[in-house]
Structure 1
Amino acid sequence: MRRRIVIAPDSFKGSATASEIAEAIAAGWHSVRADDDLVLRPMADGGEGTMAAIVAAVDDSRLMPITVDGPDDRPVHTHWALLPGGIGVVELANTSGLGLLDPLRPFHAHTRGFGQAIAAALEAGVSQLQLAIGGSSSSDGGVGALRALGARFVDAHGAETPDGNAGLATLAAVQLDGLRALPVGGVQVLTDVRSPLLGETGASYVFGAQKGASADDLPLLERNLGNLLSVIRQTSIISQTSTDAVALSTRAGAGAAGGTGFGLSLWGATSSSGADSVAQLIGLDEAIRDTDLVVTGEGRFDEQTGEGKVVDRVRATADAHGVPTALVAGLISAAAVGFAASTSLTALAGSGAAAYADPLTWARVAGAELAKRFEREFD
């Protein structure tokens, strides 16, 4: 009997995209049950690969090529996405991301290119913007992006401050009244990060190390972001939001992308769960209705998965429709409670190194194993 299976994994970060994993699982499943109807809905949470997952699932999406200034000023040839209805999607990782730097530059990397891509989408007349901000290489508080959108950040002599976190040290005045107008449908920031701008759980102390900062660097990164907040409180003209800057800095997600979440909130953008927003954009709920099984997955399934991650979001949607969910993960280090079945690439491959070296082969094996496991139940 033919069955309908939805395959909706996250990326296996550092080894395979969500689309690649979904296709590999599907190939494995079809090797056992060739007649089943497989619906691929690769997922994301606002991090690297979010745009690709959305474009793969939304018909009539278009990639719009653009060249921007990368996080170290070198040109980056990239794109933003235009969805039906005039929705623009811009991914920070493609313009100002960690993968664009070698070596990392924690004090000097900036988000100017991200702002340039946003500006290009606005010039194209988008009705709404969805901004995926995971994978940032910078701790500039979003200053580079805001500057590309018309804001001014100057020192005590009225000269524009240097880009990057280091430039925040000499910041003396901010003017936001020159910012471009928001599109009519607003701007949503997609992130799974809940950190505030400052403090032990903020941008610097939680994420500074992954951007190349040493333990000794972290207090200075924090001090410079603190100066940004202090100057905005004293001198900025916030024309598009009446919310107090300190309140914005303490909101969940303000510390995302080295404080870019905070910077975008000054423009008037609102934050949302990346997994929830992507699920809505790709029609996950509709796809899961009248489905026999949902397969989801991620690179590492652990205790943090239940904190708004993709796997948790997909399982909750399936549960709401009474559909069982199976889990495929690179490594499973926590109890897979609530899943009808689970399998890890590490277990199938015999080691984590083998699974990481060839994740698509083992994802195909996982798909085949799941198909065999469910065949008796289906038929």
Structure 2
Amino acid sequence: MKIVIAPDSFKGSLSAIEAANAINRGVKKAYPEAETALVPVADGGEGTMRTLIAATDGEIKKANVLGPLGEKVEAEYGVLGDRKTCVIEMATASGIDLVPTEKLSPLRTTTYGTGQLIMHALDSGYTSFILAIGGSATNDGGAGMLQALGLGVFDKNGVEIGFGGGELSKVHSIDINGFDMRIKSCTFLIASDVENPLVGPNGASHVFGPQKGANLSEVKLLDANLTHWAEKVEEITGVSLHNIPGAGAAGGIGGAFLAFFSAEMKPGIEVVLEYCNLERALRNADLVITGEGKVDYQTASGKTPLGVAKAAMKQNIPTIIVAGAVGEGTEVLHDYGIVSINSIVKEPMSLDDSMTYARELLAYCSEQVLRTYFYQTIRGRTSQCE
């Protein structure tokens, strides 16, 4: 009996690797003879870098950069096992988890640190990049990142604009002469599951601004500022970012990559699954167990459990989901070979408690799910032992 264990992280409690180990403990308790293959995965958000590093036997580099509010932070980027491909996870430099809740403000937060990470990697000689751009705290259209790489972004007085989406209304001119020339000879693969345009009701500000701390009036201001930014970018590059799918990813940094870099945008889960060799692990498997912190209607838009289930379905392998919480709108997931969706919470408890004890809860849930799914097999094995 072969079982593939391929979860994402349980945000705030377990990394993808830790989640896979917890599930494996539960599986082995229920069915000690089972052959298990652990394939921790991610969808382009937090944890993507470490997942790819683990999958390819790569290494992690550190760099001191400016965080979302302009403070100094120690960020990380990874180099894959080929020693040629650099993986930059935006969240380590410009992520929402770096900002205390009471200080969240996309009017002020910047992507400058992400640009510094790219610069650090360029200085180290890397020319092939994977950018995981989930989990950002920003809404500056990638202006901060571009400034860190030498792009001049000036107001009407010829002064560089400051940090944050609130500054974009001041943009009067853009000077590309100082933009790092090495970027032209590099390749950039942008891992993101976001298809939102830059502006409008489905754009970066309206859809993601509130979760980054923007109120209704600030959302409208940010959208107007991004519209102005897009117009100025078009004057320089000829690229109209306004309605391009994916340009609104990570507060508009997706658009910055599309306009100023030789970049390809691809769903994060596809990028990760390719490097993790999930397809190979699935060969001759009988069951797949995947999961993440919360499964709901958003999971069907390209999150890890769906990507894993789709890969399993191609080989006619059923998938089970274990999750910290199960929300509304999960019914559609059953169309992708997912036979059951299970919450790890086994009794009334607070969110804090469920996160604190996630490791134990995940192992217990996995054990019970497996006992149910393989009831006849396990029962037969036990009878033989008797």
TM-score by length of 2: 0.90
Conserved 8 A contact 1:25-1:367: yes
Classify 1:182/1:321 alpha carbon distance in 2 versus 1 (closer, same or farther; 3 Å): farther
Q: How far apart in 2 are the matches of 1:97 and 1:294?
A: 31
Q: 1:72 aligns to what?
A: 69
Conserved 8 A contact 2:191-2:268: yes
Q: In the alignment, is residue 96 of structure 1 matched against residue 94 of structure 2?
A: yes
Q: In the alignment, is residue 306 of structure 1 matched against residue 303 of structure 2?
A: no
Q: 1:49 aligns to what?
A: 47
2:310 aligned to 311, 316, 319, which one? Answer: 316
Deviation string for 1:150-175 (max 9, x for gaps)?
A: 21111112221111112212110112
- Post-superposition shift, 1:327? 1.1
Q: 2:254 aligns to what?
A: 261
Deviation string for 1:71-95 (max 9, x for gaps)?
A: 1121111210000221110011100
2:323 aligned to 322, 329, 342, which one? Answer: 329
Q: 1:241 aligns to what?
A: none
**Within-5 A mapping of 1:87-236:** 87-102=85-100, 103-180=103-180, 181-182=182-183, 186-234=187-235, 236=236
Amino-acid identity (%): 34
Structure 2: give runs of 5+ residues left out of the alignment.
379-386
Could you say what secondary structure the match of 2:76 adopts?
A: strand
Q: How far apart in 2 are the matches of 1:341 and 1:224?
A: 44
1:295 aligned to 289, 293, 301, which one? Answer: 289
Q: In the alignment, is residue 251 of structure 1 matched against residue 244 of structure 2?
A: yes
Conserved 8 A contact 2:154-2:161: yes
Letter in 1 for 2:197: P
Q: How far apart in 2 are the matches of 1:196 and 1:178?
A: 28
TM-score by length of 1: 0.91
Q: 2:381 aligns to what?
A: none
Q: In the alignment, is residue 82 of structure 1 matched against residue 79 of structure 2?
A: yes
Q: In the alignment, is residue 362 of structure 1 matched against residue 356 of structure 2?
A: no
Could you say what secondary structure the match of 1:76 adopts?
A: strand
Letter in 2 for 1:232: V
Could you say what secondary structure the match of 2:299 adopts?
A: helix
Conserved 8 A contact 2:106-2:140: no
Deviation string for 1:258-291 (max 9, x for gaps)?
A: 1111111122222110111111121111121222
RMSD: 1.9
Q: 1:33 aligns to what?
A: 31
Conserved 8 A contact 1:349-1:355: no
Letter in 2 for 1:114: T
Q: How far apart in 1 are the matches of 2:117 and 2:257?
A: 14
Letter in 2 for 1:253: G
Q: 1:372 aligns to what?
A: 371
Deviation string for 1:278-331 (max 9, x for gaps)?
A: 111211111212222111112222223222221111001001112121111222
Q: How far apart in 1 are the matches of 2:179 and 2:61?
A: 23
Q: In the alignment, is residue 272 of structure 1 matched against residue 266 of structure 2?
A: yes
- Post-superposition shift, 1:140? 0.6
- Post-superposition shift, 1:229? 1.1
Q: In the alignment, is residue 63 of structure 1 matched against residue 66 of structure 2?
A: no
Q: How far apart in 2 are the matches of 1:33 and 1:183?
A: 53
Deviation string for 1:208-238 (max 9, x for gaps)?
A: 111111112111111111111122223x2x3
Q: How far apart in 2 are the matches of 1:184 and 1:153?
A: 23
